[in-house]
Structure 1
Amino acid sequence: MTRSTTGVRRVLVVDASAVVRQDVSALLRDTGHCDVVVAANVAAARQRLRRAWPDVVLLGLEPPGDEALSLLREMVAASVPVVVGTRAASRKDTLVQEALCAGARDVLHWPRVGIRAWLEQQAEPLAALLLGATRRTPRAPPPPCAEKPRPPPPAPKSSRVWARQVVAVGASTGGPAALRSLMGALPANAPALLVVQHMSEPFAAAFAQGLAEACKMEVRRAMNGDRVRPGLALLAPGDQHLRLVLRPDGYAVELSSAPPVRHHRPSVDVLFHSVAEVAGPDAVGVLLTGMGDDGADGLAAMRRTGAATLAQDAATSVVYGMPRAAMLRGAAEQSLPLDSLPEAILNAASHRGPPPSDEEE
């Protein structure tokens, strides 16, 4: 089997829905950059794989999902990026979590009705996601999906505990893999993280569970009123804005069902603006891969208040939209490869706010 060596990407679309197969194929072919092959099930996909090796796979995932997950793991082991699409009504949390744990680059939630209209509306980001996923970007190995004991993480280079610093991270298209790589490289006592990933419920909850297994620090889906502290990463729910607030006993988070901002809820801009207002120079803002410009204005606000601001570079972004917007607006101080961001975050946080006291150490 061979892979494409030209500018044309070979895309394998595996889905039981004829509408998905036909419409996704049409929109990808319209880009002029794709050779699309379709299969109605995993068995047919394996037949296709004997003839040509794809550059990226769009894989439908429905209960029970065992065969699809098996194919997903095989593709990931062979360094073929896989984007999962699902309409599952049962076991969906478990299936999505297993897919993300197994190394899926991203998850698409097909609507149960009106999928053709949805595909027309989402044509541009969907094409960008699939075409961008073919880049050989650095990424962490997929975390284990089964619970098993892990050895204690190695001691971080510094014993510093960041008592007041807050790191705010925003991501969209291509973000799940980028976040696994970035957060998996941070130490257990990393500064507090607040994360907005454009991902609808229930996938956001499943994604948070998968990240928790991959990271040294504690990771969970944010709940209203959660305290913000070092060693804890809070992820925005898929249907609520996440804000940082200051209370007498320290930082906390506030969730809101306010209207979407620029079509997004949660919105990266909402998070970043709240961090700029509340934490000011004691913060670090990070904008990762994604379509559009959500987060660029908020990152600029953070920079104006003295926060350190970072953006993922073009070479390692699946879609260089949000980071590019930040760079064009002068919102990001640095544009860095994905694998350089963890160290940059720790270095930036160590220069924010007062040094920790002996009690904090």
Structure 2
Amino acid sequence: MPKTRVVVVDDSALVRSLLTEIINRQPDMECIGAAADPLLAREMIRNLNPDVITLDVEMPRMDGIDFLSKLMRLRPMPVVMVSTLTERGAEVTLKALELGAIDFVAKPKIGVADGLRQLQDDITDKIRIASKARINRLHTPAPAPAGTPGGGAHHAAPGHAAPRPVSASLGRLSTEKIIFIGASTGGTEATKEVLITLPADSPAVVITQHMPPGFTRNYAARLDGLCKISVKEAVDGERILPGHAYIAPGGMHLSVERSGANYLARVQDGDPVNRHKPSVEVLFKSAARVVGPNAIGIMLTGMGADGATAMREMRDAGAYCVAQDEASCVVFGMPREAIAAGAVQEVLPLAKITGHLMDHLRATAGPALSRV
């Protein structure tokens, strides 16, 4: 089997050396070139035709974002960003994912050599996933409806219909239900596509997206500026309310529990589950146990099987569960496993998930509430 051919782009000679060493240690991949800046990388990519590139966020001569934007417009290919654990690094990394980067690795601010070596399994796993991921050209702006928060900021990939905002009020339909979303690789953008189409009185949404510490607060703030619902990083013990979305903090598990008539967020440390923290399995198990038939489950793009077993528990408890279809996924791992587990009632293109769920809510609410 041919090896995955990787070009490393980073202005640090130490990081270039370490990433080259880590990649070349793998039996299924090789580093075929290392460039100190995007201008050198451009020639290297043209001449060597790599399968994947790793790209530093901040570099001289042309920063990683400008280079990524040009690359995804002219020669789309799998890119894994190498970010820094800073406020600026988090913001730029989220922009890179929006532009089409498959995933990112957060290098430590100090002890870079030891830190990267400790992350070598994570780095090589993400390169493997990226080499198999679905790539789209740079997103082009899609017209936003008048009055939509963040109008003009939403993008739709060519070949994929832009999600249709759900504008009709749900009224009392939203007060008992909770929507649970699980996502991994490609999920930051897929989750955004779902949330920006929800009406302001949507049921509460609780989200586990595989992300490291230091990135979820910026991610939540970014979504909050685009959506009609309020989006925030979850806080332990807070009430889960309609019209709000709660994102698991990076490096912490998120679940729900009941206190009288209220649902509460539970944010806790603990061992990784299915190699992940936060884990979709933890969130979906609590949905099955605590929310039961009032839960709606959505499994979005991602590698692996995290959450598949728990989503089957959700369905067995009476929840309504859907999965993103293969054609609109960056990686069809988690949805495929949920489907194989018999956890899913519907498999839908990303652009149709929200509208379908809102129609389902109205159809199952009875004649009186469906007219609200």
TM-score for both structures, normalised by structure 2: 0.78
Give CA deviations for 1:127-156 in whole Å, capped at 9, x if unaligned. 33312344339978599xxxx975699973
**Shift of residue 91 of structure 1?**
3.4
> Does the C-alpha gap of structure 1 residues 139 and 165 become closer, same or farther in structure 2, counting only changes over 3 Å?
farther
Pairing 1:182-197 to 2, within 5 Å after superposition:
182-197=194-209
Cα distance in 2 for partners of 1:173, 1:151 equals 26
> Does the C-alpha gap of structure 1 residues 13 and 213 become closer, same or farther in structure 2, counting only changes over 3 Å?
farther
Counterpart contact for 2:288–2:317, Cα < 8 Å: yes
Pairing 1:256-275 to 2, within 5 Å after superposition:
256-275=268-287
Residue 73 of structure 1, aligned match among 69, 72, 76: 69
- Equivalent residue, structure 2, for 1:14: 9
**Shift of residue 125 of structure 1?**
2.8
- Equivalent residue, structure 2, for 1:332: 344
- The DSSP-based 3-state class of the residue aligned with 1:273 is helix
Residue 293 of structure 1, aligned match among 305, 310, 322: 305
**Shift of residue 232 of structure 1?**
1.1
Task: Report the identity percentage.
Answer: 32
Cα distance in 2 for partners of 1:56, 1:315 equals 21
Counterpart contact for 2:81–2:103, Cα < 8 Å: yes
- Equivalent residue, structure 2, for 1:166: 178
Counterpart contact for 2:102–2:130, Cα < 8 Å: no
Cα distance in 2 for partners of 1:229, 1:126 equals 35
Name the aligned partner's letter for residue 135 of structure 1. Answer: I
The range that moved more, 148-157 or 112-121, is: 148-157
The range that moved more, 240-249 or 196-205, is: 240-249
Pairing 1:23-62 to 2, within 5 Å after superposition:
23=21, 26=24, 30=28, 37-48=33-44, 57-62=53-58
Cα distance in 1 for partners of 2:26, 2:198 equals 37
- Equivalent residue, structure 1, for 2:131: 131
- Equivalent residue, structure 2, for 1:3: none
**Shift of residue 261 of structure 1?**
1.9
Gaps of 5+ in 2: 155-163
User: Residue 91 in 1 paired to residue 88 in 2?
Assistant: yes
User: Residue 179 in 1 paired to residue 191 in 2?
Assistant: yes
TM-score for both structures, normalised by structure 1: 0.80
**Shift of residue 82 of structure 1?**
4.0
Cα distance in 2 for partners of 1:137, 1:274 equals 38
- Equivalent residue, structure 2, for 1:4: none
The range that moved more, 349-358 or 36-45, is: 349-358
- Equivalent residue, structure 1, for 2:106: 109
The range that moved more, 17-26 or 45-54, is: 45-54
Cα distance in 1 for partners of 2:366, 2:242 equals 15
Cα distance in 1 for partners of 2:320, 2:215 equals 30
Cα distance in 2 for partners of 1:97, 1:206 equals 8
- The DSSP-based 3-state class of the residue aligned with 1:214 is coil
- Equivalent residue, structure 2, for 1:217: 229
Residue 232 of structure 1, aligned match among 223, 244, 251: 244
Cα distance in 2 for partners of 1:104, 1:337 equals 21
- Equivalent residue, structure 1, for 2:357: 345
Counterpart contact for 2:18–2:113, Cα < 8 Å: no
Report the count of equivalent residues. Answer: 349
Cα distance in 2 for partners of 1:64, 1:215 equals 34
Name the aligned partner's letter for residue 306 of structure 1. Answer: G
> Does the C-alpha gap of structure 1 residues 338 and 150 become closer, same or farther in structure 2, counting only changes over 3 Å?
closer
Counterpart contact for 2:165–2:198, Cα < 8 Å: no
Counterpart contact for 2:37–2:59, Cα < 8 Å: no
